Structure 1
């Protein structure tokens, strides 16, 4: 079972499971958990394989089938029957894989800055090569140098407006990760190696909320395309946010999550927040 964190479970309440992104861990959700929990929603956070305090053995392949099964084990262990699965970026790819493989386990799906993977073979091969290069780089140059390079990616430019306290917290979280774990996560379930779920999107019938930040053009395009394929889905562009909505606009993120889970109308307006 994956390393996870949970308060007391009340089976009369819905549960949301939060999945973090690459070079991150469960602590990335520290700004949003309390507000969700106060709205009578159980919250479970998970350290995905290779991240945080995860203890997954390195002797097995951490593919999407393995991770999905591990997440379902948590759902079954706590006997949860009203589950909403959220995933951010890498965690969004995982969450979507769980939804495709185990749709009956979920009442709803929340995809934040997420992708179903790569369907084009040449693009897929190029991404596998890039993931492998990054995996080797983490081990060769060390975590500090890699974090410095990773933080300067244009994808995270919008994080420059965060407070110094939050920027330092994010940096320390990234520095605390295991180079070996991160490298294996890239080669085992990186964007290139994971199976593409584009063709499976039309089969999803569970309510799905797709969130993207207004500065994140690449994932706006991906999110809009996913909206066309997933029948029971809503699409939202969050103002003044980039790739990490839950960090850059935590109050707006909480509002969307809470209303979606509790049956509010916010996730039905398809507008900007």
Structure 2
């Protein structure tokens, strides 16, 4: 297996910020936010990675734990920002490598499915989805993926469809099988013992993940919450200015960002 992940670096500031994308995306999905973050503060060095099964990492096979190791090998001591699939990866990185993860921003993330039956059902569903993907190909699969109610708030013009369709069927199928929620060990118990600052973020229209963000923030000893107005599940694409602004405030001083979430 490769020792680091293919990545793009923007900015040359002293503070490294690593960005991990969601399923079917690539490193470029975070470009609008990273560019705005650099405009907000020149003190950052943004590292945008291609997660296993995606982009130039299409042939890298790794579960969430291995993905977390690759992330920290690439970014080293840094703030880690993740969306959806990427959020699970950066939360896992925090649990595994608290010595190098300065803070985490989890956007539209979860710490896993706790119920073993539900988790097994999700694993089976992801396997069926992977087989379906291999049958119909990436282009049709991406169209189906974005047609889900989860992405109802994401205009097609902002969905980066053509970039998603540069992924390979084998790579995305591998990601579903190895890094899907059904294949991921829940991290809720671990979060309660982590002292690394965590910012749980969600779009206000994404009610399921607002609830999950509140839980992550409340469970983490240094947890904070940020809700992005007028955004759904893909807040970084729908409202990149607001997301970049919150990240900028956060990395400037995580311990003084907003107020702790206690309920």
Question: Could you tell me the TM-score, scaled by structure 1's length?
Answer: 0.88
Aligned partners of 1:269 and 1:158: how far apart in 2? 28
**Could you tell me how far 1:37 is from its partner in structure 2?**
2.2
- Work out the CA distance in 2 between the residues paired with 1:264 and 1:204: 14
Match of 2:101 in 1: 106
- Secondary structure of 1:53's match? helix
Query: Within 1, Cα distance between the matches of 2:177 and 2:7?
Result: 23
In structure 1, what is the Cα distance between the partners aligned to 2:232 and 2:35?
22
State the 1:9 CA deviation.
4.4
Which residue of structure 1 lines up, in the alignment, with residue 46 of structure 2?
43
Q: 1:237 to 1:57 in 2, by over 3 A?
A: closer
Tell me how far 1:143 sits from its aligned partner.
1.4
User: What's 1:22 paired with?
Assistant: 23
1:131 equivalenced with 2:126 (yes/no): yes
Contact kept in structure 1, 2:58 and 2:167, CA below 8 Å: no
* DSSP-derived class of the 1:93 partner: helix
CA shift for structure 1 position 265? 9.0
TM-score (norm 2): 0.92
Residue from 153, 156, 163 that aligns with 2:148 = 153
Structure 2: distance between partners of 1:106 and 1:19: 14
Contact conserved, 1:259 with 1:265, CA < 8 A, in 2?
A: no
- Report the 3-state secondary structure (helix = DSSP H, G, I; strand = E; otherwise coil) of the residue aligned with 1:159: coil
Query: Is 1:54 the counterpart of 2:57 in the alignment?
Result: yes
- The Cα of 1:267 is off from its aligned counterpart by 3.4
Contact 2:154 2:238 in 1 (8 A): yes
Q: For 2:86 and 2:254, how far apart are their aligned partners in 1?
A: 24
Q: Distance between the aligned counterparts of 2:242 and 2:96, measured in 1?
A: 30
Give the count of matched residue pairs: 256
Alignment of 1:221 onto 2:211: yes
